[in-house]
Structures are given as C-alpha cells and as structure tokens.
Structure 1
Amino acid sequence: MSTITEYLEELSGRSVTVIGMGISNVPLIKMLLRAGVKVTVRDKASREKVADLAQELESLGATLVLGPDYLKDLGGELIFRTPGLSPNTPELAQAVENGAALSSEMEVFFQTCPSHLVAVTGSDGKTTTTTIISEFLKEAGKTVYVGGNIGKPLLPDVADMDPEDYAVLELSSFQLMTMEQSPNIAVITNLAPNHLDYHHTMEEYTNAKKNIFLHQGEGDRLILNYDNDVTRSMAAEAVCPVTWFSRKERLEEGVYLRDNAIWLTNEMGSREVLPLSDIQLPGVHNIENYMAAIAAVDGLVPDKCVRAVARRFHGVEHRIELVRELDGVKYYNDSIGTSPSRTTACLESFNQKIILIAGGYDKGVPFTQLGVEIVGHVKALFLTGNTAGAIRQAVEQAPGYAESGMILAETEDLAAAVAAARQAAKPGDVVVLSPACAAFDHFKNFMERGQVFKKLVQEL
C-alpha cells in the first residue's frame, strides 16, 4: 500500500485517461490535475450538458473528448473507467490489449486508504446494511467514513484518514468487477439475478461479487448469508474465516434468531445481542440486514451500542419510506426496489395485500417468480415504464391470478399510476412504489424517481 501522495508521484509524466465525469470520478480528475498529471477526460455527454464542469476541468489542464464518439481512439498508459462502463466494452478491451493498465477511483482508494476497510455487497440490502454498520461504529466512538456506492467519494478524504479509523463502503458489482484488493471485513448480504443487461450472465455477475473477498488475508473476516444458496456456496473459496448469519436456521456458530431476538455464537460462547422489538425497520429482510451488520462488528462494538442504534434508526430514504397518510391510506416509497428480489422483500414486509406501482427500465431480469409473488401479496397493480408489458404477462400467467380479483392496469407514466392508485385505495389500504426495475427509462436514477413519487403523493 502507498500513500495518496506517493501514488500521485508515481503517475507524474504518465498519460492518464479518465472515462466519465460523474460524481465519483470528478474528485479523482481534479486530484490528478492538481498533482500535475496529464489527463484526458472522456464522457458521452455533449458539451452543452456539461458546459460548466468542462470549462472548470479544462482550466485545470484537462483535455476533453465529449459526445457519442468519446471512446474512439481510446488510449493512455493508465485508464480509469467509470463503474457504469463494463471492462468488456470493445474499445476498452482493445486499449488494454494495446498495453493500457485499467483502474478505477475505488481501486485507487483501496490502494491508498490507511484505515480499516469494511465493505458490503449483494443484490439487496447493501445500503441499509452499510449504513447500520457505520452507525454501530459511530455509536462505539469510532471515526467513520461512509462511501462507495452511497454518500460521497472518499478519495479526497484519504489523506486525512488514520489507521484506527474505519471506512465503510457499499460496493456494486460494477465497482468490484476489476478489483484486485479486498476489505478487512467483507459482507455479502445475498445474491439473486440482477444487472444482466450489464453482466450478460449470472456467472459474470457472481464472479464480480466474489472480488470482495478473493483478495483477503487470513486475519480478515467474511460475512455470508447461510440462507442464500449462492452465498453459501462461496464459502469454499474463502481465504479467511467465514461468519454466517441465518434467519431460518439456528446456527452452531454465527448470527441467528432465537426467542424473538438476534443471537450470536462464537468461540466466547452464545449471547443475545438484539431483541427484534428494538428494530424500527419493517420487514424480515431488515432483520437479515441487522444480522449481517452485527456479524461485521462483532468484537468491535458493544452490544449496548447495537441496541441503541436499532431503537433510533428509522431507515434510509427510498427504502420502504413512509411518505404520508391521506384519507386513511398510507403511501410508501420503495424506489430502491430495482430488482424483482428487492420488490419481493418489500411485498413480504406488509401483513396485508397492498396496492403496488411497478415497472421501469429493463435490465434483462426475468419476472416469472415476481408474478407469483404479486398474485400472493397485491390487490391492485398499476404498471408503468418499459417493463410494464413484461410484468403484466408474468402476473397474468402466474397460478391463482384468474381467481385473485386483482385490479391490473398499465398507465402512461408515474403520475398516472399514482392517480390510479389513489382512486383504487380505500381507508386502511397501503400504496407502495416498488418498481422491481431500474429507473433509467424515465429518470436519472432511483433517487430521482423516488423524489418524483414523493412529490406526487404530497400533492394529492
């Protein structure tokens, strides 16, 4: 490992390309330019869309290549890719074949961060689990930096970090795909088919996730979900000891449920850590998120700190977030429901049949099982976005649909879906936006979609 100063000195005189002018790369670009590194920045956005930022970066010395041909004649000794660009992209693969080295903002952070590294990945629950872990550590008096796929880029803070601090990161499969370093504590919440528009196969998606632990050392720690077939099978490749968590099995060692509480058994014995009644978040999936977080901080955080956080923590925005109650109807924003498995977990969080708004960008994930879950948990379904037809077909073909009496309709947009849901709702009902899809068909991201939904609901 080198310091950030040493790392930047090593780049002096080298030609560096940074692909993408997004939120994670801009601090990296500025850091490189201020260190005197020759930087070419490439982005598919037109100059009109990024005019102010483009002018700022050029004033710092950057060369810009913008527009649809931004990857043409891609070169440079070192290329930093944006997480959204697959390393399998032909132009990128060709550049590597021609001798370019490939890296990313997150890989530089891992190379230069002096603090303890805790990282969380998985198909569902990443953000909530990452946030809970960070809150546990803060409650115990640790200095904590939170970043990765949430919060702000941490690379600008790396020079201020100390060895006794903790960096807690949420990592996506996009970020992990080319990682060659792993954190001291790695957590995989679960794995299910997701992002198959990017990875193309479940195997590639799973292999990307494995990089969170494949480069660990013997003194590190890996936290895996015992109830998930994919994560359970990963233990065979673990380099360091595995700590299991399970909501369904009472484990001989690990984190598990017993007597309406979360228990932990390790070499020191068994103990009750957290009564379920202390958890303020709805849904069994959030019990699993707490289990994963408790396993991650075992030995670092006293149990009293765990309980204090659970009693006050009401969740992260866009995750089964109560927006308002109107005329006896509760409206929830679960815009983070960007996959069928996320939406299924949301549906299972309510003890009544709900009114669901779903649909969005097509990631190539099948909806067959989601159709079954919707028939079992939904009384009225309003679909919007590119996948509306595919989800409708999955629901109509699911067993029990014909007898269910479900209201099912496709709507023009999210505003029309909200209006239709309100019209269908009666006092005591619950209306939930949980799309089971990404937001890119009509929105910049799931956060923007959630904000629009909340605005629409507040205006009812």
Structure 2
Amino acid sequence: MIPITEFKGRDVAVFGLARTGLAAAKALAAGGARVHAWDDSDVSRAKAAAEGVTISDINSRDWRTFAALVLSPGVPLTFPEPHRVVTLAEATGVPIMGDIELFARAVNALPPTQRPKLIGVTGTNGKSTTSALIAHILKEAGKDVRLGGNIGDALLDQPPLHAGAYYVIELSSYQLDLTSSLRLDAAIWLNLTPDHLDRHGDMAAYVEAKKRIFLNQGAGDWAIIGVDDAYCARVCTELTRAGAQHVAPISSGQVLGRGVSALNGKIIDARSGRSEVVADLAQAPALAGKHNAQNAAAAFAAAGALGIEARVIAHAFTTFPGLPHRLERVASIDGVRFINDSKATNANAAAQALAVYPRVYWIAGGVAKDGGIDELASFFPRMAKAYLIGQSAGEFSDVLRGKVPVTMAGNLEAAVKLAFNDAKASGEPHPVVLLSPACASFDQFKSYEDRGDQFRKYVNALSEAPPQRSGGKA
C-alpha cells in the first residue's frame, strides 16, 4: 500500500467502493486521514466495512468539513449529468479527484532523488497489452516494476514509493478526467476511435480527456503518440509545435521520418532521424496483428526513452506471454483453433482481431456500442459463419443478412458448441473459432473477463461433449 499523508488529520469523502475506491480509502486511512466512505450499493458498503473501511453516509454530512472528495472513475463527472455527490462537492468548493491524483501528489511530494519513473498508457484500444508489454520489457531489463491503474491491482495497492522503481500505469479517460498533477516520464497515447460517448458527450470532450495524459510534462519527458488516426495525429502536431517535451510519433501504417514504425512485422526506429530495423515481430507470437504491431512500436519507443537497449527490447518481445482475453490462444481441438478476444468490447477492437485471421467462425454479440458492427463490413468476407449471442443478436443479424451465414446461438455455451461442430466439419486446414464480441458483456456476464473465462471453460469441455448440429439460420 502507498499511504497518502497529504490529508492527515482531515476529513475526506470517498465515493464508490469498488477496486480503486477501496484502495483509496485504505491508503488515506493509513496516512492519517479521517475517511468517510460511501457507495450507493448495500453490497459494496458491506464488503468495504468487512475490509475495515469506515462507512459514513456522506449525503447527510456537512460538506464544508471535507478537504476532498475522492471519486471512483466510474461515477459520472459531467455527462450526461454530474452525480449528486459531484454537485455537492462543487457547491461547497470541495476539490474532486481520483486515486491516480492521490498517487501523483504523493510522488510530487518526494525529493527529486527519491522519485520513481512513471510511464502512463492510454488509448481507446490496446492500452492493456501495451502497459503489460512495457512492464515485461522493463522486468527483462532487470528493473523494479509495478503495473497498475486500469489494469491489475489498484495503483494505491502497490508497495510504497521509492527511488529506482518503475510504475507502468494504464489510464482510462475516466481516470484522466480526475487527474491534474500527474507528471509522466513517458506518456503514451495509442489511438482514438469513437467510444465512451455516453460518458463524455462527444468526441471533442473525449479527446480533451485523453490529452490530459501529457499534462505537466517537461523538457526531459517523452510524449509517445500514434498518428494512424486523425485525432491523435492532430494532437501530435500540436505537441511537436509546442515543444514542451520530446515527441515520438508511432505508426503501424506508414514509414515515419522520425519516430517508430511497425510495418510488415518489423519495428523500425527512426527517432534519431536515421531508420533502422530493430525487431522482428514474426518471432513474437503474442504480438500478432497490425494492432499489436502498433502496441509494440509504442512499447519500443517508451522503453527506449527510458534507456533500455534495443536488443533487450527486441528479445523481450519474443518472450512476452500476452494477456488473457486479448487474442488469447485457448486450445486446439481436432484441428480447430479457439481464440479468446473477449476484450474486444467495440467494433474497432474486433476489427483488430478479424484482421489477423483470413477466415473465422465468429462469435459476437452482447451490449452493442454506438454504430454497432457497420464498420466491420470489409471483414464480412472472412466470416465463414457468425454465431450471435446476447442483447444485440437481432440487430447484428439484420446487418449480416445476405452477407454472412448466421446462427442465432443465444448464449455463449451454445455458440462454442455450434461453431466447433461447423469448423470441424468444414474440412478447412486449422479453422479458427474466434470470440471477438464487438460488444460490452453486461447483458449476460459480470465483465469481459468473466465472458472470456466462460469461453475458456466451454472450449475445454468440448472433448467430452457430443457434436451438435448448427441451426436457427437468420
């Protein structure tokens, strides 16, 4: 745990008692604050109380006594309207912040010689893989590495701060909205596509939230930014013109005169202005696909900015195990390969997986995002058949009708059995059953992790299950 001492002897409200809220409440209490923790959920409050967190109904307290409101990133800050606790804090002048801001203030209070290295990663897609890959590279280089934020353990649950440590922090736009004093030695913004508009309202607000990752950077820091989409390319130009920090563009679609490119499976380093092939991703099985090439380019630029040698980075690519639920190779049964890409919760993420395989038996569906799967039209010819589940099944069936054979599977267990049966009977060499839902999971599962875990369970049970005929064509 990282104790937060800034509010020692003062009252602090903590609202939202999931993973990050619990960690914040405990870290504040460890630092001597009087914590008043609350959640609208009875279950969450009971769980927090069982873990020793002081529960206090902040709705009925005098807000003028609070030194800060620590808000869970999932709680609406501005759109579609501020949560009532946000309104109360604003009305009484109480500063609003998240757990990342608490961490940033703790780091900023250290003497410069005691400051750890901070690496932050954001983007609509790829940030978890890139964060984990950077952490893996640094560990391979012998560094003391902690990985947290929007991935793994909450950041404040990490061991206490000390010089020589490297913190790799995955940052969502929700977390960045609540952060104002974080200064990153290397800040990575991978890409931006429409997402989370129900939280930010429009793309302009989403862009502004993501741009906050570069706040407070100075002359010795690095901004690493993808230039394969118009939003990030524009911000890259702005940062380069401002000249506040070093800027390293990255791309998996074009050769850069200065920056890091990933083309045809090769990583090309041109940060000095001279191009050099520094890694071959054909030797890195967990980094298949164009999207992972961009992730690798970003990780190379970040690790290089931190002084890691190119040969060490290149070797670390080959030993990176990948992450669960992100193009995870689950099994090969009777020649059929099963790929778990449950993390693909929007169409753009699913497109990255579909681009890897020339032909798939595609399992998709759940809670659809704005735009549905229209942008996947160019991949329809790669789909031997689609097996639709969840709330969006009817909508997706309408889009696919006449273009892709469809089976209305209804649930994931049935989809796995039906897809396996069809793939095995196809006679194709090494057919692929791909779970890449292009949807959120909350209609049928607790989370995308739960969805991926269930997929793995159903796949592993196939050797014991009798074959099942496909049916229910739309």
Whether TM exceeds 0.5 here: the answer is yes
Matches within 5 A, 1:367-382: 367-370=373-376, 372-382=377-387
- What's 2:148 paired with? 147
Deviation at residue 419 of structure 1 after TM alignment: 2.4
| Residue 290 of structure 1 pairs with residue 296 of structure 2 | yes
Query: Which deviates further from its counterpart, 250-259 or 206-215?
Result: 250-259
In structure 2, distance between residues paired with 1:365 and 1:105: 32
- What's 2:360 paired with? 354
| Residue 85 of structure 1 pairs with residue 75 of structure 2 | yes
Match of 2:317 among 310, 320, 336: 310
- What's 1:429 paired with? 431
In structure 2, distance between residues paired with 1:387 and 1:177: 30
- What's 1:399 paired with? none
- What's 1:29 paired with? 25
Specify the SS of the correspondent of 1:167. strand
Matches within 5 A, 1:86-125: 86-88=76-78, 89-95=82-88, 96-113=90-107, 114-125=115-126
- What's 2:222 paired with? 221
In structure 2, distance between residues paired with 1:56 and 1:153: 15
Change (3 A) 1:365 1:26: farther
- Structure 1: which 5+ residue stretches go unaligned? 397-401
Matches within 5 A, 1:34-45: 34-45=30-41
Specify the SS of the correspondent of 1:193. coil
Change (3 A) 1:388 1:182: farther
Query: Which deviates further from its counterpart, 32-41 or 306-315?
Result: 32-41
Equivalent AA in structure 1 for residue 226 of structure 2: N
Change (3 A) 1:232 1:72: farther
In structure 2, distance between residues paired with 1:241 and 1:210: 15
Deviation at residue 158 of structure 1 after TM alignment: 5.4
In structure 1, distance between residues paired with 2:196 and 2:325: 19
Deviation at residue 52 of structure 1 after TM alignment: 4.7
In structure 2, distance between residues paired with 1:233 and 1:71: 43
In structure 2, distance between residues paired with 1:382 and 1:222: 41
Deviation at residue 251 of structure 1 after TM alignment: 1.4
Deviation at residue 274 of structure 1 after TM alignment: 0.3
Deviation at residue 190 of structure 1 after TM alignment: 0.9
Specify the SS of the correspondent of 2:167. strand
Change (3 A) 1:147 1:388: same
Q: TM-score, normalised by structure 1?
A: 0.89
Specify the SS of the correspondent of 1:332. strand
- What's 1:63 paired with? 55
- What's 1:336 paired with? 343
In structure 1, distance between residues paired with 2:251 and 2:51: 50
Change (3 A) 1:385 1:36: same
Change (3 A) 1:422 1:71: farther
- What's 1:383 paired with? 388
In structure 1, distance between residues paired with 2:304 and 2:7: 39
Deviation at residue 328 of structure 1 after TM alignment: 1.7
Q: Deviations over 1:66-96 (max 9, x none)?
A: xxxx868794441111111121224133122
CA contact (8 A) 2:251 2:261 kept: yes
Change (3 A) 1:31 1:391: same
Deviation at residue 443 of structure 1 after TM alignment: 1.7
- What's 2:283 paired with? 278
| Residue 170 of structure 1 pairs with residue 175 of structure 2 | no
- What's 2:271 paired with? 266
Deviation at residue 257 of structure 1 after TM alignment: 4.3
In structure 1, distance between residues paired with 2:62 and 2:269: 52
CA contact (8 A) 1:335 1:435 kept: yes
Change (3 A) 1:362 1:452: same
Matches within 5 A, 1:204-219: 204-219=205-220
In structure 1, distance between residues paired with 2:50 and 2:314: 50
CA contact (8 A) 2:236 2:249 kept: no
Deviation at residue 255 of structure 1 after TM alignment: 1.0
CA contact (8 A) 2:253 2:263 kept: no
CA contact (8 A) 1:374 1:395 kept: no
Q: TM-score, normalised by structure 2?
A: 0.86
Deviation at residue 97 of structure 1 after TM alignment: 2.8
Matches within 5 A, 1:247-258: 247-257=252-262
Matches within 5 A, 1:386-425: 386-396=391-401, 402=402, 404=403, 406-425=404-423
In structure 1, distance between residues paired with 2:264 and 2:388: 40
- What's 1:11 paired with? 7
Change (3 A) 1:237 1:165: same
In structure 1, distance between residues paired with 2:62 and 2:124: 32
Equivalent AA in structure 1 for residue 387 of structure 2: F
Deviation at residue 191 of structure 1 after TM alignment: 0.7
Specify the SS of the correspondent of 1:411. strand
Q: Deviations over 1:167-187 (max 9, x none)?
A: 111111111112213412111
| Residue 245 of structure 1 pairs with residue 250 of structure 2 | yes
Specify the SS of the correspondent of 1:267. coil
Change (3 A) 1:12 1:365: farther
Change (3 A) 1:174 1:357: same
Equivalent AA in structure 2 for residue 165 of structure 1: A
Deviation at residue 271 of structure 1 after TM alignment: 2.5
Q: Deviations over 1:285-314 (max 9, x none)?
A: 111111111111225111221122122223
| Residue 199 of structure 1 pairs with residue 200 of structure 2 | yes
Change (3 A) 1:360 1:303: same
In structure 1, distance between residues paired with 2:301 and 2:23: 33
- What's 1:20 paired with? 16
CA contact (8 A) 1:344 1:373 kept: no
Query: Which deviates further from its counterpart, 223-232 or 251-260?
Result: 251-260
Change (3 A) 1:258 1:284: closer
Query: Which deviates further from its counterpart, 49-58 or 176-185?
Result: 49-58
In structure 2, distance between residues paired with 1:201 and 1:390: 24
Change (3 A) 1:150 1:264: same
Percent identity reads: 32
In structure 1, distance between residues paired with 2:293 and 2:333: 29
In structure 2, distance between residues paired with 1:458 and 1:74: 55
In structure 2, distance between residues paired with 1:308 and 1:328: 30
In structure 2, distance between residues paired with 1:35 and 1:251: 47
In structure 1, distance between residues paired with 2:76 and 2:367: 18
